[in-house]
């Protein structure tokens, strides 16, 4: 590996996320975040996580650590995996196979050729300028992941948001429980400044994670993507449609998103909806 590869945006972003995650965890474990111990002076409260350990209650601290580790592993999985790149160099095919595949794809579907990859886009795919690749069922490019969110890693991305929100809310409660306001301002700032900064960071991250999770659950429930929701007026297969042609209903949308059922190509589903719309008219 070349030395400059270690300074690539992806490595820097993932390293920053990992350091920030464990740094906040260490602050919560080592800072005075618990209720004051009656046997000690009030100015020296026992850390809540450490207090659980001293009392032999290891389940809660261990659970918190496992949740933090799980969220970090999910983050790395989503950021490192293939989001569903369209193969730039398709395998050679015989003329018979090409004719068979052409016959299976309805001709009314407005497929377009990518001006960067110079290949026909599958339905719902889009070229990502940051990754310089076309991504199937493109949702968005996440700068915090330094990776696209697409067909393959979108379910894991939603799972990551859910687990991360649980960790953030728990950490927020731990940080809040350690903020003591009975001391003079100067003394309070020296003893609680780091914890207060951690609390502000956790509040910001919790708000962002809540909004992201709510928006993605809404999109999943309606079987649409962030890109389609924002740019439907510019997308050929949505521009002249009054409703989402991929919406199969809440249960089937969730089942297809998380379990891959029912299976089937987006081209076939779009053509079926187009035919139903034509018959209705």
pLDDT in tens, 23-37: 999 988 887 644 444
For the four alpha carbons of 26, 29, 34 and 36, in that order, the dihedral sign comes to negative
Asked if 10 contacts 146 with a C-beta cutoff of 8 angstroms, the reply is yes
What is the per-residue pLDDT for 100?
Answer: 41
**Per-residue pLDDT at 256 exceeds 80:** yes
Q: Which of 90-99, 100-109, 239-248 is modeled with the greatest confidence?
A: 239-248
What is the per-residue pLDDT for 85?
Answer: 95
Q: pLDDT for 148-202, tens place per residue?
A: 999 999 999 999 999 999 999 999 998 887 777 776 777 777 778 888 899 999 9
**Per-residue pLDDT at 111 exceeds 80:** no
What is the per-residue pLDDT for 152?
Answer: 96
Phi, psi of 93 (to 5 degrees): -130, 150
Rounded distance between C-alpha atoms, residue 91 and residue 200, angstroms: 52
Residue with tokens 């001293």: 54
Catalytic residue positions, numbered: 142
pLDDT band for position 273 (50/70/90)? low
Question: Which of 48, 42, 45, 43 shows the shortest CA–CA distance to 29?
Answer: 48
Which residue did the predictor score with more confidence, 276 or 38?
A: 276
* pLDDT (average), residues 133-147: 95
Q: pLDDT for 189-205, tens place per residue?
A: 777 888 889 999 999 99
C-alpha triplet 209, 213, 217: angle, nearest 5°:
175
Question: Which of 17, 42, 38 shows the shortest CA–CA distance to 187?
Answer: 42
């Amino acid at each position: 590996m070349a030395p400059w590869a270690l300074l690539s945006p992806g490595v820097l972003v993932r390293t920053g996320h990992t350091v920030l995650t464990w740094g906040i965890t260490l602050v919560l474990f080592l800072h005075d975040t618990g209720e004051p111990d009656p046997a000690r002076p009030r100015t020296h409260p026992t850390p809540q996580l450490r207090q659980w350990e001293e009392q032999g209650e290891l389940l809660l601290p261990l659970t918190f650590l496992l949740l933090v580790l799980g969220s970090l592993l999910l983050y790395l999985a989503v950021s490192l995996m293939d989001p569903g790149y369209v193969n730039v160099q398709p395998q050679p095919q015989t003329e018979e196979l090409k004719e068979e595949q052409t016959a299976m794809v309805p001709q009314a579907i407005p497929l377009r050729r990518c001006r960067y990859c110079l290949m026909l886009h599958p339905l719902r795919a889009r070229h990502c300028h940051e990754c310089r690749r076309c991504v199937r069922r493109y949702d968005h490019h996440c700068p915090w992941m330094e990776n696209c969110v697409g067909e393959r890693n979108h379910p894991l991305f939603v799972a990551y948001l859910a687990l991360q929100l649980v960790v953030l809310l728990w950490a927020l409660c731990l940080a809040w429980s350690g903020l003591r306001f009975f001391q003079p301002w100067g003394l309070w700032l020296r003893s609680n400044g780091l914890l207060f900064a951690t609390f502000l960071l956790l509040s910001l991250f919790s708000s962002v994670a809540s909004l992201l999770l709510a928006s993605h659950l809404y999109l999943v429930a309606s079987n649409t993507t962030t890109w389609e929701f924002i740019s439907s007026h510019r997308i050929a297969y949505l521009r002249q449609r009054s409703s989402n042609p991929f919406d199969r209903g809440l249960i089937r949308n969730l089942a297809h998103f998380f379990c891959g059922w029912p299976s089937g190509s987006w081209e076939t589903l779009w053509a079926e909806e187009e035919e139903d719309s034509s018959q209705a008219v």
